[in-house]
Structure 1
């Protein structure tokens, strides 16, 4: 039996030695007059109902804020400034919750607190910040279009839990949205805002009291007030200005489509001109060469066709359908004209049409041709063109 008892004691001590006392690592923020909880607990949970639990504040004399011993508060050891203002959660000590609640917070309550468990030699500290949070709206105008949703930003700084507070939004004398007792109260809401307003409830514990307004109309424009009536602060309200653009989303979409069409036309014209010029040059050169070989009209036509094809392809790549059409037209016209001109300048001497077919030449014609050759033999350079064209 003695061995079993020793094992039980050893296991109990071992379990307690592995238990940690954990308090919030984040400062606890409270306003003057608030009730605040300084959270502390044992992890893993251990029954602390029969333990001595001390809450102290270093630098204070006496330093004891709350002394729990033998299942009750020991008033005789408590600092007078905290008399009847502190308590533990007695029904939760069995689950390791050793948090302390302070009622009616004062400015002098700010500072560091320590939770001490002498029986297991555990202690942890926590910071209490007491200050005046102020309501902050937006210095910048919020601009949205008709039909959009708008968020009117407003928050408390430093962050403060307003879930138990009253929050009011107004525009002039009109009630826009009211929050009270952890829920929305919209019975006094102006008809123009019915079913269109909401708060971010899950963020209110961080001081976010922004308002969301859906399906905005032109009549919604104006100056809004966010107000926390019972806030212990000199700054309990601030303002947000909403500007509503008359152009709705649909109008903007139509405008964008119009801009797209205009851009496509301009792009097509530019692409067509570029493609047409390139096609014309290429078509003209090729048309000129062909014209020099087979004749002016045929060369011009060839140049025009080639210019149209090349101009259309290049214009289409650069400027789309309209570019292809414009490129084909410009390439065809310029290619044809330049093709004829090139033929006249360079191809005429080698491609003169033969007016008399040799098979039908008469003896007189042959004699005349020979005679012309003899007469012009001394001036070959100057008469060459004329002679060959008369052949």
Structure 2
């Protein structure tokens, strides 16, 4: 009877362990990171990264790296402290985690006083749960105009070339073109053209390449050029109180002179680091091994009980034959 109770208890525990393991394998926490918006030199940025569903990372080793650097470590957190001795010197005193958010699975990295050389691919790794993901950081550096003046003839349509280098998405920023004396030639803000403050001389004659602005192309198209359009133009990209700018010259000839510049095109595809598929962790393996051991123990206990029962029945069957005749 005791063996039966033990066997049933073991089988019940086995079911619980398998359910636990199956739940963790089918719905593990996955590390998800997202790409931040365009960052300006000198500003601070957060590289968002968290475990979903939430799983405490307080006792985990958290590694932020840049594979293209040597040493590659940007920030390493383990056993409740920052391992500054592993950090790449370029990032000294500029990185931190939100330690109070680690219990919520938030392992985001804050990077202060961003420089142009900070642009690149960052990788967040949690070795204890075999999770990692990548974040691409883009830093606005330069607005590039043209070293040579654009040549045009009266009545021509021209393109004044200007682009971001390296290419970044400017569709959420303010792009503005002005003349040397400050007259507004064209303004783009809040994801659309703003003609309210445009100089009357240019109304109905200017446009941007909206479908290429996500590639950093902020070139201006000016149609039906006149002699009064000749001069220097400035292209701005503004964000709050910060701005980047460069100049483009326009030379207009009244004669039939064909000396025209093509527009500069800048294109880029921002890589997205792959997110590794969920993998079995040490916890999963331990649960499965324990379940197998318990199953074997239960089977052995059942065989022992069955053998004893069979022997008892045989003994009872043979007992009358051993009684002496009177």
TM-score by length of structure 2 reads 0.50
* 8 Å contact from structure 2 (residues 232, 249) kept in 1: yes
Q: For residues 292-331 of structure 1, what are the structure 2 equivalents within 5 Å?
A: none
The more displaced of 49-58 and 169-178 is 49-58
Q: Structure 1 108/211 Cα, relative in aligned 2: closer, same or farther at 3 Å?
A: closer
Shift of 1:155: 0.4
Please tell me whether Structure 1 or Structure 2 has the larger radius of gyration of its CA atoms.
Answer: 1
In the alignment, the residues of structure 2 paired with residue 50 and residue 41 of structure 1 have an alpha-carbon distance, to the nearest angstrom, of 10
Q: Which has the higher strand share?
A: 2
CA distance in 2, matches of 1:218, 1:37: 49
Secondary structure of 1:226's counterpart equals strand
Structure 1 portions without partners, runs of 5+: 248-391
Is 1:102–2:111 an aligned residue pair? yes
Does the CA contact (< 8 Å) of 1:55 and 1:66 recur in 2? yes
1:241 is matched with which residue: 250, 263, 272? 250
SS in 2 for 1:34: coil
Alignment pair present for 1:160 and 2:168 = yes
Q: CA deviation at 1:64?
A: 6.6
| Alignment equivalent of 1:65, drawn from 75, 85, 89 | 75
Equivalent position of 2:202 in the other structure: 193
Alignment partner of 1:12: what SS? helix
Q: Which has the higher helix share?
A: 1
Q: Which has the higher contact order (CA 8 A, sep 6+)?
A: 2
The DSSP-based 3-state class of the residue aligned with 2:93 is helix
The runs of 5 or more residues in structure 2 that have no matched partner are: 1-11, 85-91, 257-326
Count of aligned positions: 229
Q: How far, CA to CA, are the matches of 1:114 and 1:224 in structure 2? A: 41
| Contact 1:66/1:86, CA 8 A, preserved across alignment | no
What residue is the counterpart of 1:77 in the other structure? 82
The answer to whether structure 1 residue 175 and structure 2 residue 184 are counterparts is: yes
2:56 is the alignment partner of 1:50: yes
Q: Distance in 2 between matches of 1:163 and 1:191?
A: 25
Q: 1:155–1:210: 8 Å Cα contact kept in structure 2?
A: yes
Assess, with a 3 A threshold, how the Cα gap between structure 1 residues 207 and 77 changes in structure 2: closer, same or farther.
same
> How far apart, CA to CA, are the structure 1 residues paired with 2:109 and 2:75?
10
